[in-house]
């Protein structure tokens, strides 16, 4: 029997990851935790845009942030997202 609630949960995870900038952010966080400024420099998009993507990823439970002085350092925490990322990019 198919569990519709589980399918809906997985679908929301995929939706959160599906934007190219968010996928780049997640891939970057898989390699190293970092702050918004570093993400902005890597993606070459405005800080406000990066922050909007971060908010969506946090709301989906894919990333978490830890305050370090004046900065928030983000890291990838969702195991399902990590497995999807590994599959998409053939990571180990």
pLDDT at residue 84 greater than cutoff 90: yes
Q: What is the pLDDT of residues 56-75, one digit of tens each?
A: 999 999 999 999 899 999 99
End-to-end CA separation in angstroms for the chain: 32
pLDDT band at 55 (very low <50, low <70, confident <90, very high): very high
**What is the pLDDT, as a whole number, of residue 1?**
78
Q: Which of 47, 51, 61 is nearest to 17 (CA)?
A: 61
Distance of alpha carbon 58 from the chain centroid: 7
Residue 52: band (very low, low, confident or very high) from pLDDT cuts 50, 70, 90: very high
Domains of the chain: 4-89 (1.10.10.10)
Q: How far apart are CA 25 and CA 43, in angstroms?
A: 8
**Torsion over CA: 84, 87, 90, 92 (sign):** positive
Task: Identify the pLDDT of residue 83.
Answer: 97
């Amino acid at each position: 029997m198919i569990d519709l609630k589980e399918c809906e949960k997985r679908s929301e995870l995929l939706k959160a990851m599906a934007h190219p900038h968010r996928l780049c952010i997640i891939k970057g966080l898989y390699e190293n935790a970092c702050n918004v400024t570093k993400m902005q420099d890597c993606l070459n998009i405005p800080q406000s845009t990066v922050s909007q993507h971060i908010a969506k990823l946090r709301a989906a439970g894919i990333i978490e942030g830890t305050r370090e002085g004046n900065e928030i350092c983000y890291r990838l925490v969702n195991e399902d997202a990590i497995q999807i990322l590994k599959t998409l990019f053939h990571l180990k």
